[in-house]
Amino acid sequence: MDKPKIKETIVVEGKYDKIKLSSIVEANIVVTNGFSVFRNKETLSYIRKMANINGIVLLTDSDRAGFLIRNYVKQGISPQKVKQAYIPDIAGKEKRKSLPSKAGTLGVEGMDPQTILHALKSAGCTFFNEAAPLPRKAALSKADLFLLGLSGSGSRERRAAICRKLSLPVGLSSKAFLEAINILFTKEELEQFLLSNHLIEKDEPNS
């Protein structure tokens, strides 16, 4: 069976991540070599060039280092040219490692193919062998999240519960959470999701 072909360049942290991705999809995959990208101007320049050509997808581990790398790489690139793919928090370690990571969770290389494909599709990647996604309706705003109880006082646990159900990293910032939610839902779809999963009640604000 042919591997799905993706239009955007996928940016990952390490060579083992690239090996894993290459076994699942056909795409241009760039390795940051961890924090080396902070001082490697050639790699950063190449990523920015790819962003201007076909866009990029950031797929890093869901730990502190991964978030630092993705936040650094996206600086100076138009938001319209950057897509964010997230893997869930799953406890464990990769087979090649003697010890788990500092966070105690699997990285990109430790994810199964279905999880990685789900992350890429959820990010809105362009798959050449699939129909183009329909345009989304008006994006959710910070105010919408507040009205739904997903920002502000006492909202962290509710966001964490949503992330677990959607296989997103629990440690997403409010801004990153909003970006991910806007990829996955319209406002009406999010309200229905929250209701069906008993994360809001019918008499709570929903508009």
Where are the domains positioned within the chain? Answer: 9-122, 142-196
What distance in Å separates the CA atoms of residue 121 and residue 110, rounded to the nearest whole number?
A: 18
Render pLDDT for 42-88 as a digit per residue (tens, 0 to 9).
999 999 999 999 999 999 999 999 999 999 999 999 999 999 999 99
pLDDT of residue 148: 87
Task: Give the distance between the most distant pair of CA atoms in the chain.
Answer: 54
What distance in Å separates the CA atoms of residue 30 and residue 72, rounded to the nearest whole number?
A: 15
* pLDDT < 50 positions in the chain: 207
What distance in Å separates the CA atoms of residue 142 and residue 49, rounded to the nearest whole number?
A: 31
Q: What is the pTM of this model?
A: 0.79
**In CATH, 9-122 is 3.40.50.140:** yes
pLDDT of residue 207: 46
Share in percent of the chain as helix, strand, coil (round to 5): 45, 10, 45
